[in-house]
Structure 1
C-alpha cells in the first residue's frame, strides 16, 4: 500500500441534522484518521455549494406538474469526483502504483477508468462498492471495468475497520462522538 486518498467535502453544519455537532464529528474523524495513518493517508477535499431552487412538488398518485412547484435548498458536492478522477489518472500515468483500488459506486468514475485502461492496460484496477452486505446494488458497467470487484463491504470487515473510541495524540485524545 502506497497511500490511501480519501475524497470528501466538509459538512455544512446548517444543513446537517446534528448541526455543528456533525461538523465537529467529521473534523474529529479526519484528525483521528491522520493521527492513525499519517503519511499513508491523504484527505482531499471538495466542497458543498448551496442554493435555493424551485422543484416540482411530489403529490402521491399524481403525475409531475410543472406548475406545482416549491422552493427547496439544493446542496451539491463540488469538485470531489473530479479530484478523484484526476488523482487516479495522474497516479496511473506516473506509474506510481501496480494497482488502483477505487471505493465507489459512482458511474461518474467510468470515463476516467476507461481512459486509464486505454493508456495503462497493464495497471490492475479494483472496484470496492461502499455498501452494506444486504443493500448492495452494483453499477454493473462500473464493476465490469475493474480487474476485480467487491460488490459490498461485509459487516465483519466494517466491524474490523472501526476506529477505536479514543485515539491518543501528543495532547488531548480524539474521542469518538457520542452520537456515533
Structure 2
C-alpha cells in the first residue's frame, strides 16, 4: 500500500519536539518504521513537510534560530522530503487584560503583537486533496496526516467522501509520558480516519535521528546545529 505523508511542522514541533533533544529528526525513517508496524505491506511513497520560516527578530536566539531551521529543512530535502513553506504574519492587535479571579472583558483590553502562521493549513489541505485527485497516476493508496490540528478535519472528511477507496491515517504528535498520554485524540480527526496513532514516544524520537553530518553530493555536509 503506497502511502503519502503530510506533516504539519509547527504542530509536530510544539507537540513533541520543543524542549527535547530530538529536533534533528529523520522523518522518513521514523514514519517508515511506524508505517511498517501499522501495516507490514505498506510502503512509504512520499513525505511533504509544511512549515513557515522562523522570524529571526522574534526568535529566542535570533538569526541562529533561523539558521538552525534552514539547516534542518535542507537536511530533510536531502532525504527526499518535499518542503512547502507558508509564512508568519505579525500584526498589532488587542486582547482582554488578564486579571486573576476576574472574567475577561472586552471593555478592558491591552495592545499586543499577534503572530500567526499563515497558509500552512490551506497548503496541507490542498496538498492532501490534490494527492487524492491524482492517486491513480501516483499509485497512492493511503494518505497519512501528521498533525493534531482539528482545522484539518474538513479536508479528511472531503477526501473520505470523494475518494472512499483511499485509506486515511492520522499520526498525532502528542507526547507520551510515563506510559500515559498527556492529551486525548481530537474527535474531528479520528472520525474521518481509518486508523489513528495517538502518540510519538521518546524512544522512537531518539532512535530516528539524522547523523551529525548529513552528506550532500558535490556540496559540504549539513552539520547539525549546536542550538535549537
TM-score, normalising length from structure 1?
Answer: 0.93
C-alpha distance in structure 2 between counterparts of 1:128 and 1:139, whole Å: 11
Give the match for residue 124 of structure 1.
Answer: 167
Instruction: Name the SS of the counterpart of 1:109 in structure 2.
Output: helix
C-alpha distance in structure 2 between counterparts of 1:124 and 1:72, whole Å: 43
1:55 aligns with 2:95: yes
Q: CA deviation at 1:173?
A: 2.0
- Which structure has more relative contact order (CA 8 Å, sep 6+)? It is 2
Which residues of structure 1 form unaligned runs of 5+? none
Give the match for residue 219 of structure 2.
Answer: 171
**Change beyond 3 A, Cα 1:98–1:47:** same
C-alpha distance in structure 1 between counterparts of 2:153 and 2:192, whole Å: 8
Q: Is the 1:93–1:119 Cα contact (8 Å) retained in structure 2?
A: no
Q: CA deviation at 1:32?
A: 1.0
Q: CA RMSD in A?
A: 1.3
1:13 aligns with 2:56: yes
Q: Of the candidates 46, 53, 67, which is equivalent to residue 3 of structure 1?
A: 46
Give the match for residue 151 of structure 2.
Answer: 108
Give the match for residue 22 of structure 1.
Answer: 65
C-alpha distance in structure 1 between counterparts of 2:100 and 2:225, whole Å: 38
C-alpha distance in structure 1 between counterparts of 2:164 and 2:106, whole Å: 47
Q: Deviations over 1:66-111 (max 9, x none)?
A: 2322111111111110011011001112123100010011111111
C-alpha distance in structure 1 between counterparts of 2:212 and 2:99, whole Å: 44
* Residues 151-162 of structure 1 aligned to structure 2 (within 5 Å): 151-162=198-209
